[in-house]
Structure 1
Amino acid sequence: MASNSLKRRGLMFVLSSPSGAGKTTIAHRLLEDDLEIAMSISVTTRPIRPGETDGLDYRFTDRAGFEAMIEAGEFLEWAEVFGHLYGTPKAQIRAGLKEGQDFLFDIDWQGTQQLYQRMETDVVRVFLLPPSIEALEARLRSRGTDSEEVIRDRMARSRAEISHWDGYDYVVVNDDMDACFEQVHGILRAERLRRARQTGLVDFTRDLMR
């Protein structure tokens, strides 16, 4: 719920980037530093990883269960990434927005496009760019977890992701993590103040003019 006294509608804050451009780090800092935003929990068919909790990190299901949810129209957006399905459940997001809850989305350009088509005025789209392709590849290699083939695939996908930069409302170059975070957080704070989202303004200004 918004911290100021005026009632407002929540927003859907989309953070996208090519793999290795710092999106996960920025997202975690937003969730830690800003109590008004919560992570949107996606449904996925990928296997649960060590340390993950069903219902907290993701809602895990099988392909048949996911496809049944598609047929029932339960997703705002969904996509297949590296052979696994990911989707955003509709009901919990719509209920939260009405109550002034903000949601953070860690999705790619396909999911962003679908969200925008369905929930245009509620969506704020932010894309993070690396300072260079060389820096991006160095970050991927520094993880030490991927094979050469996986790194090549991720770099090819990164170039494809970068090509969709102009489908976003804001684009931030992440050449310094602290500065990038401040810029992203500033975008979030400013978007909360949009007149159209301040649903309590009508009554508030009426009271002022009496």
Structure 2
Amino acid sequence: MRILFVCTGNTCRSPMAEGMLRKLAEERGLQLEVRSAGVAASQGAAMSMHAEAVLRDQGIEDTITSTPLSAELVNWADLILTLTSGHRSHVIHYFPESADKIYTLKEYAESDSDVLEAQGELQRIAAELELDRALGKKPDEAMQRRLAELMRRMPTYDISDPFGGSRVEYDATAAEIKAALERLLSKLEQAASEEPGEAG
């Protein structure tokens, strides 16, 4: 499976998520390809000093440099996980045809069944409205009202941005990301074990 993390500049949150997921998946024996990008990233910028230190303290020596989000990366990914709902909206806006594989990390790692059901409906309505917008159709007002109602009921899925902050803030963000990654891996393991004819 190919997973792409997306944040703003691809120097703090998404490279931390990329490095941590690669290591955690390896420890669990899961075959994943992981990359990251930024919606406002330049090409080849170094990770922030604190983000690099956070990864190094976890035994992750990956050299990850920033990459701007592109159609090529969106097509490469089986699953696109953004660090905030703002990033998710941005990616869906520019790549509406890929809306069904774009989630926030925390949203995708969610395990509460009521929330998951509402999420599925929200995802369908958002994708449909976005497609209508892309095709120049007038948006359906009832669907817009339902979307607003679902949005109000959703827990917040944004992961705090430590950019410009202290090492303590980076550690807090990394802990938040890691907790979501652990839930994500459990979900992927469960899905893999349920696949017919697949071993382990």
Rg comparison, structure with higher value: 1
**TM-score exceeds 0.5:** no
Higher helix proportion: 2
Under a length normalisation based on structure 2, what TM-score does the superposition of the two structures give?
Answer: 0.37
Under a length normalisation based on structure 1, what TM-score does the superposition of the two structures give?
Answer: 0.36
Tell me: higher relative CO, structure 1 or 2? Use CA pairs within 8 A at least 6 residues apart. 1
